[in-house]
Amino acid sequence: MCQVIGYARLMRSPSSSEARGSSLPSEGPPTGPWLEPEQLVAWKRLVAVIELIPGVLDAQLRRDSGLTHFEYFVLAMLSEAPEWTLRMTGLAQQTNASLTRLSHVVRRLEDRGLVTRFPCPEDGRATNARLTDDGHQVLVAAAPGHVSTVREHVIDALTPEQVSELSEIAAALLRRLDPAGRLAVAVE
Amino acid sequence: MCQVIGYARLMRSPSSSEARGSSLPSEGPPTGPWLEPEQLVAWKRLVAVIELIPGVLDAQLRRDSGLTHFEYFVLAMLSEAPEWTLRMTGLAQQTNASLTRLSHVVRRLEDRGLVTRFPCPEDGRATNARLTDDGHQVLVAAAPGHVSTVREHVIDALTPEQVSELSEIAAALLRRLDPAGRLAVAVE
DNA sequence: AGTGATTACTTGATGTGTCAAGTAATCGGT
DNA sequence: ACCGATTACTTGACACATCAAGTAATCACT
């Protein structure tokens, strides 16, 4: 009933009664089933950041513009495309979303008149999504507040060196998380 | 109808027709309503990472252990506490969650027999959550696979230097995102 | 001891994401 | 020209998160 196993211990317990992974001992960083204390701290902090950032972004955008961050991002990607138009599949890739999720979101945006959908002339299977003028206005109105939030909560919290370190770190993570490299944010 | 304004342009447009924020020109990093190109790339990559990591974690844990990452984290925090017991409020702080969210999750975990709830003896308003033996077994069984996922998708994608840079960056972000410093991950 | 404010939590309604399944058009052979 | 496989997307059911509101105990005063 007393304190036996904790998260930290689970993550770096030396009692590897289960030697899984049969890890090659030759890789660059130390590889094994458990995490080093420093790795564990980094991971826990990253988890906390990942848990908190969406809430901050969504709260501000919802309050000031009635948009989720994902909706904002969808509108923004469309506004960048020629003719304000993209195929659903392309839009899904640029927003790191499943086609299912995008389909639901675009339908809701269409209901609100911010986007229109129409069949793609070149491929009968495909659907195009286009930003409407209303959608563009909403986006332009939302942008300054959103950018301020990003600056205040993220960019301005870091030194310029940290910003470029973060950029490289995120690029490295994306290469693992999305091996197909289908992402909008080219990891050049 | 042609390409007028895009996400990148929205985020760093030089036409600051709206000079908001009346930014002090003296702060360390350049401060203004728009983002520099390098900042923009870093931000977009971070957004992609934040969008993708939860899916990776949830998919593996769900598949192998029938748990969400958040549920795993809740069980892990309890397993670290004395008597495997924490007040709901304390548990919410350690998991960066709202009390509402935690209440729903703990109820579901209780329905599955992984956690029990009982009134706190010292404070009639408070509720204690305690890990059950079943919950502990589920947690211990889930841990190795989860840690492997974290290693493979995150830690091993980075050099040791990047891991420590990430740790510092996340700490800096948490100081902004959680000024009250209520988090489990002490940003010492 | 009584009253208002605060704390700690729960509950129900609503919205969004995910999964599984379905539809429809196109491609790749033969 | 046909037919199976793939691609592109939609839909409906379900799970989870959030918000607003409610309950109940405790605290701070007077």
Sign of CA dihedral B56, B59, B64, B67: positive
B80 touches chain A (CB under 8 A): yes
pLDDT above 90 for A14:
no
* Interchain contact, A151 vs B8, CB within 8 Å: no
* Interchain contact, A83 vs B165, CB within 8 Å: no
pLDDT above 80 for A87:
yes
A45 touches chain B (CB under 8 A): yes
Dig out the tokens for B178 from the structure.
Answer: 């959680």
Task: Considering only residues B60 and B19, tell me which one the structure prediction assigns the higher pLDDT.
Answer: B60
pTM of the model: 0.85
Q: Which of B51, B169, B183 sits opposite A158 (nearest CB)?
A: B169
Task: Considering only residues A140 and B179, tell me which one the structure prediction assigns the higher pLDDT.
Answer: A140
Q: What percent of chain B has pLDDT over 70?
A: 77
pLDDT tens sequence across B63-82: 999 999 999 999 999 999 99
pLDDT above 70 for A185:
no
Mean pLDDT of B143-162: 94
Q: Please give the sequence-ordered ranges of beta strands (E in DSSP) within chain B, or none if there are none.
A: 85-87, 115-119, 127-131
Q: CA distances (Å), A50 to each of A25, B50, B54, in order?
A: 31, 6, 8
Helices (H), A13-132: 37-65, 69-80, 88-94, 99-111
* Interchain contact, A39 vs B162, CB within 8 Å: no
